[in-house]
Amino acid sequence: MPGPGTLLPMFPLGAVLFPHASMPLHVFEPRYRRLTRVCLEGDARFGIVLIERGSEVGGGDQRTSVGTRAVITHAAALTDGRWMLRVQGEARIAVEEWLPDDPYPQALVSEWPTPPDEAPQDAADATAAAALVAATEPRVRRARAVYAEHGGGSALPHDTVFDAEEPEVAVWQLCAAAPVTTYDAQRLLAAEGTIIRLRLLGQLMDELELDLQRMHSPE
């Protein structure tokens, strides 16, 4: 478990990975092929942060300071040296210092826990958080359905289950399932706590549904 100022290989991307969510990665750039080999030979963890400006290829990008520690769960090597990975988000991280990108991006990071006043402290708090999750889940499902009706991906499968026993986990799962922009995904990731994140997610879902209805309503 990384502590304050832990050195971690980093993979800046044009996408956001949430804790408790998974993501496929196609690794083709030489420096990230090396990062992959190092991780597979030792600790399979590295950090993912969003590129705010610039490109994923070649460096020279501007990166966010809040990201996610990921662990490689599946890896397939291709004959030309590329890799196909599946990674799982573990926890939020805060970048304390970027080091030179040699031989690949690295940073000193610390894990960013949920603030105590935003984490359930007792059974009553946990019940309240679970109730908020239960109220937000149908809004995510409805937004996904409306988005799908207008050609924006697929509706959420009916058998998708969110972790009702762990509200903090369920919130991250809902964030990953929600049809949000990369900018809003980063806002959700960087939100200060579970309750704030839930409220922001519900607001984003309501705004998306209204926007789609306005765009496609007859004049």
Among 43, 77, 111, which residue terminates a domain?
111
The 10s digit of each residue's pLDDT in 153-194 is 788 888 788 776 788 889 999 999 999 999 999 999 999 888
Lowest mean pLDDT among 44-48, 104-108, 193-197: 193-197
- Domain assignment of residue 101, yes or no: yes
- Residue 90 sits in the same domain as residue 154: no
Residue matched to tokens 């610039």: 54
- Residue 10 sits in the same domain as residue 105: yes
- Residue 120 sits in the same domain as residue 66: no
CA distance 56 to 79: 23
Structural domain count of the chain: 2
- Residue 48 sits in the same domain as residue 24: yes
Report how far apart, in Å, the C-alpha atoms of 176 and of each of 30, 151, 194, 218 are: 29, 19, 14, 32
Among 61, 85, 111, which residue terminates a domain?
111
- Residue 40 sits in the same domain as residue 75: yes
- Residue 83 sits in the same domain as residue 163: no
- Residue 105 sits in the same domain as residue 136: no
The 10s digit of each residue's pLDDT in 82-130 is 999 999 999 999 999 999 889 999 999 998 876 655 555 556 666 777 8
Domain, as residue range, for 172: 116-216
- Domain assignment of residue 46, yes or no: yes
| Residue among 64, 214, 195, 16 at smallest CA distance from 121 | 195
Among 47, 78, 111, which residue terminates a domain?
111
- Domain assignment of residue 1, yes or no: no
- Residue 99 sits in the same domain as residue 137: no
For the beta carbon of residue 162, count every other beta carbon within 10 angstroms. Answer: 18
pTM given for the model: 0.86
CATH code for the domain of 57: 2.30.130.40
